[in-house]
Structure 1
C-alpha cells in the first residue's frame, strides 16, 4: 500500500511525539511544523494526504491556515485540533469546510480512526462493497433459477439497481462486468417470465401486478380522501435507478410514505402506457370507447394529445363528478417556470397532474445528438445527466415550494428504457411502425428467439388494425433493424436508450408517495 503523508501543524508539537512515533510505526509519514506559515510552505512544496491543524497557533491561526491551504488544494482532507470547545469555533471550522474536528487531549486511537476514515475510507468501502456483492452475486444467481412471481421479480430488479449504483463508485472493471452479465441473465429470465404470464394478466388483471391502467385508481385517487391537495408528477421515461438518484435530493424535503413499483403495459411506449394511465383502460378499450381520441401507430399526428380528456372521464367515472383537478404538460423550460408561478392557484384543487417530458427527450436526444451521446455513454452517466437536469430544473423548484405546504406528492413514470446492444433483423410492409423495440404490422418476418409474439393483438388488448396484423416485442437488449439498411441502423442506434419492449428496466417502474418533512 502506498505510504500516507501527513502534515501536522501545532505549536506544542513536542508534546505529540508519542502520537507521531506510533503513526510512524503504523507506516505513516508525518511532517511536523510549529506554525501556520511553515505549514503553508510545506504544503506548497510537498504533497500530503491529510493535514492536522492546531486551532490556536501564534501568527496564522488554525482557521487562517486552513483557509490558505484550501485555496492551494481544496481536495486534501483537513482536521482541526483544539482545546477550545466553543460552539462558534466549531461552526467557523465547519463553515470553512473542515473535514473533521478533534478536541484536545487527543488519544492515539482517535488519531488513527480519523486517518483511516479520511484517507482509507474509499479503499475500505470498495473492498467491503466488492465482498458484499460477491456474496449477493451467488444469492441472486440462485434466485434467478427459482420460479419467481411478479413481486419477487420487482425485488430482484431493486437489488440489481442497488448494486449497480453501489458498484459504480468503485474503480473495479471486473465487478462491473460481472454485474452487467448478471443483469443480462436476469433480463433473459424476466423476458421468459413475461412471455409466459403477460396475456394471463391482461385477461385477469387481479391475477397479476399493478399495471398502467390501475395506477390512478389504486395509488392516486385514494390520496384524495386525505382532504389535502394531491400533486401527481409523471416524469416521462424515468427508470427506477434514475428515481433512486433524484430521491437523494428529494430526501432533503420529503419523507417517503410508500415506495412501490408497478408494471408498464406492452408496448412500453408513451402512446400506449401513458394513455393507459390517464384513461384507466387498455389500448383496445380506449380505441373502442374513445374512437375520436385514440390514435393508432398508422394515424397522423401526436399520439398523446388527449390525456386531459382521458383523465377527466376517468375521474368522473371513478371518483366523483365535482372533483376539482388540473392537468399541465411541461415540454420546455419556460413551461416549467410558468407552472412554478401558478402553484399557489393549484392549491385549491383536489388533484393536480403534471407531466414532465424531459427524461424522454433526453433519451431521444442521446440518439440524435452526438454531444449527448458522449455525455451519457453508459448507465452511470445517464443517471448522472438525469440528476444534473433535476437539480437545476423547475420541477425541483416546484417540489421545494410544495415541501412547505400540507400536500401529498406522488412521483411516477409511464415506462422505463434500456440500452440496446443486439440488432435483430425484421421485415415488414411499408405500414409497419418505426419503433425499434416493438413492431405492429402484417406478415412480419423476424428471428423467433428475439421476440415475444402476440399473434392476435386482442389477446393483449391492443388494437388490431388489419385481419392479419400482429405485434412483436423485442426481448432483453435487442432492437429491430431492417436488412436493407442494417449497417446504417446499427451504427446509429447501437448502445442508445430505447423503449417499447420487454426488460426489467422498461417494465418495472417506480411509484412513490411523499409527504413534506
Structure 2
C-alpha cells in the first residue's frame, strides 16, 4: 500500500515564480496546493476537503500580511506547522513571528532543498512522531498517576481532566494498542476516584458549608444577569450533552467569529437532563424548584417540557420584561435564524436557545450510529468538525456575531460513551437516562452505581420517604432482566448522561464576544 503523500499549502502572492520549488517537492512525495493570498489560504484550510500537514507562508503580501494570517491559522489549527518565508532578515520580525508560534523560518531567496529540509524536519517520519508521542505518554501517565495518589480538590480535578483530554486528543499520533489501552484504563480509574470523591463532598456543596465550584444553579447569577445589566445584546446558548473534548473540537471554528473566554463549572448529580437543565434555567436546585413551583416540576417528572416557563422564572432578577424572556428549541425543527437575531437587536429580547448537541449531530448522518463512530475518537472528532462547519448551529453563531451579539455558550451536562451494562430493579419514574433511575425502592449492584438514599442532601426533590436516586459509575448503562437484548441494543456504545463521571460533570462555559471587523483600510 503506497504511503500517503504529505499535503503542503503554499501561500505566496508570487507563487507562480515558485513552480520549480513546487515540482521539486512533488517529486519527493509531497502534494502542494499553491494559493495567492492569505484569505485564499484560510479558505483552503477551512473548507475541509483536504487536511494539510504544513503551511509555507509568505510574510509580505497585499491585503493580509503573513503575520496576520499566521495568527488566524494558529487560532483555528494550533497544531498545524507553519513556516514563514520572507525577504526580510530583521530580528524584530523574527521575534514577532516566534511570539506568534511560528514553527519555522526561511529567508528568500530559498532553494528547493531548503524547503524540503524544513518540511522533513517539522513533519519527520511517522516513526519519529510515534516515538515522541510515546515518550510524552509515559511522562503524562506518570504525572497523572502521581496526582491520583493524592487528595485532590475541585480545581485539581479539572486540571487532571484537561490533561486526560489533551492526551486523548493526541492518541492519533500513536499506533500502539497497548498505549491506547493504558490511556483508557487510567481514564477509567480516574473516573472511579472522581466519582467517589464527588459523592463524598457534594452534600457539603449543597449545604454551602465548604468552598465549592460554580455549579448549574449559579450560571444565571454569575454570567447571564451581569451581561444583561451591561445593556449589550446577549443570547444564552445551551448545547446539552456536550463533552469538553467535543467542545474543544468545535471551538476552533467558533474562534473565527468570536473572541472566546473559557470557564468551567460542575453539573448537578445526577447529570440527567431534567435535573441539570431545570437548575441551569432557573438558578435553583431541583428540590427548591419543586417547593416553589410544584405544578411545573410535576410536568418535568412526567417527561413534559416546561423549559420556556422555567426560563421566565430564572430571569426574574433581571429587568427584562416577561415577554422578552424567550426560549427556542433548536432541536425541534426549522428555527428562523433571522427571527432570533432581529428579536435580540430590534426588540431587546434575551433568548435562551437550547439544543441537544448529539441529537443535532446524529441527524447529520443517520446511517451511522454515533457509537460506532465514537470507537475511533480521532475519526469521530474529524467528522464532528466537518459537520459543524456546515451546520445551522454554526450559521446561527455567525449571524449573532455579525449582529454583535454576545453569546454565553454552555451545557447542563456532558456525556460518556457507555460500554458496560448493569441491571436495575424496582419501579422507576419516567424521567431517566441510560445512566440514571429514581423512584421508590429502585436498586442496582452497588459496585456500579451510587445510591443517593437521602436525596435532599443532594438538592433533589422527594416524593416519599422511600424515594431513591441511582446514578451510575464509570461507563455503565442500565439494563433490565426481562428486556436485556433491547436495552443492550439501545444503550451499548451510545453516548449517555445521568451518571457520575468527569465527562458528564465537568463542563465548559464560554463567553463569546463578536469579532469586530477593522474597516480602517490603509490604501
Structure 1 length normalisation: TM-score? 0.75
Q: Does the CA-based 8 Å contact 2:133-2:173 persist in structure 1?
A: no
SS at 2:139 equivalent:
helix
Quote how far apart the aligned CAs of 1:169 are.
4.5
| 1:314-353 pair list within 5 angstroms | 314-316=314-316, 318-320=317-319, 322=321, 324-332=324-332, 334-335=334-335, 338-348=336-346, 349=348, 351-353=350-352
**Larger Rg computed on CA atoms:** 1
1: CA distance between counterparts of 2:118 and 2:513? 37
Per-residue CA deviation, residues 372-424 of structure 1 (Å, 9 max, x unaligned), is 44444444444344333321122211211222343322110110111112222
Structure 2 length normalisation: TM-score? 0.75
Quote how far apart the aligned CAs of 1:509 are.
0.7
Rate the CA distance shift 1:491–1:432 in 2: closer, same or farther, 3 A: same
Q: Does the CA-based 8 Å contact 1:260-1:511 persist in structure 2?
A: yes
Aligned residue number for residue 274 of structure 2: 271
SS at 1:220 equivalent:
helix
Q: Does the CA-based 8 Å contact 2:239-2:356 persist in structure 1?
A: yes
SS at 1:429 equivalent:
strand
Q: Does the CA-based 8 Å contact 2:311-2:326 persist in structure 1?
A: no
2: CA distance between counterparts of 1:139 and 1:516? 38
Q: Does the CA-based 8 Å contact 1:261-1:511 persist in structure 2?
A: yes
Structure 1 range deviating more: 121-130 or 476-485 = 121-130
Quote how far apart the aligned CAs of 1:479 are.
1.6
1: CA distance between counterparts of 2:454 and 2:162? 33
2: CA distance between counterparts of 1:81 and 1:463? 60
Aligned residue number for residue 154 of structure 1: 158
Per-residue CA deviation, residues 223-259 of structure 1 (Å, 9 max, x unaligned), is 2233211121111111111110000001112112x31
1: CA distance between counterparts of 2:422 and 2:4? 53
Which of 29, 33, 44 is matched with 1:49 structurally?
Answer: 29
Rate the CA distance shift 1:196–1:104 in 2: closer, same or farther, 3 A: closer
Structure 1 range deviating more: 355-364 or 234-243 = 355-364
Which of 441, 444, 447 is matched with 2:442 structurally?
Answer: 444
SS at 1:472 equivalent:
strand
2: CA distance between counterparts of 1:159 and 1:420? 21
Rate the CA distance shift 1:179–1:191 in 2: closer, same or farther, 3 A: same
Q: Does the CA-based 8 Å contact 1:51-1:76 persist in structure 2?
A: no
Quote how far apart the aligned CAs of 1:306 are.
1.9
Q: Does the CA-based 8 Å contact 2:286-2:461 persist in structure 1?
A: yes
Aligned residue number for residue 196 of structure 2: 192
| 1:131-210 pair list within 5 angstroms | 131-204=135-208, 207-210=211-214
Aligned residue number for residue 408 of structure 1: 406
2: CA distance between counterparts of 1:53 and 1:424? 52
2: CA distance between counterparts of 1:254 and 1:81? 24
Aligned residue number for residue 40 of structure 2: none
Quote how far apart the aligned CAs of 1:160 are.
1.1
User: Are 1:262 and 2:265 matched, yes or no?
Assistant: yes
Per-residue CA deviation, residues 74-102 of structure 1 (Å, 9 max, x unaligned), is 999999999xx9979x99xx9xxxx9867
Aligned residue number for residue 465 of structure 2: 467
2: CA distance between counterparts of 1:388 and 1:359? 14
| 1:55-74 pair list within 5 angstroms | none
1: CA distance between counterparts of 2:327 and 2:237? 10
1: CA distance between counterparts of 2:380 and 2:55? 35
Stretches of structure 2 that go unaligned for 5 or more consecutive residues are 7-18, 35-49, 70-81, 86-105, 516-523
Rate the CA distance shift 1:512–1:492 in 2: closer, same or farther, 3 A: same
Rate the CA distance shift 1:339–1:130 in 2: closer, same or farther, 3 A: same
2: CA distance between counterparts of 1:296 and 1:205? 32
Q: Does the CA-based 8 Å contact 2:129-2:173 persist in structure 1?
A: no
| 1:112-131 pair list within 5 angstroms | 113-117=117-121, 120=124, 124-131=128-135
Rate the CA distance shift 1:169–1:220 in 2: closer, same or farther, 3 A: farther
Aligned residue number for residue 230 of structure 2: 226
Q: Does the CA-based 8 Å contact 1:229-1:352 persist in structure 2?
A: no
Rate the CA distance shift 1:385–1:267 in 2: closer, same or farther, 3 A: farther
Q: Does the CA-based 8 Å contact 2:425-2:443 persist in structure 1?
A: yes
2: CA distance between counterparts of 1:322 and 1:79? 51
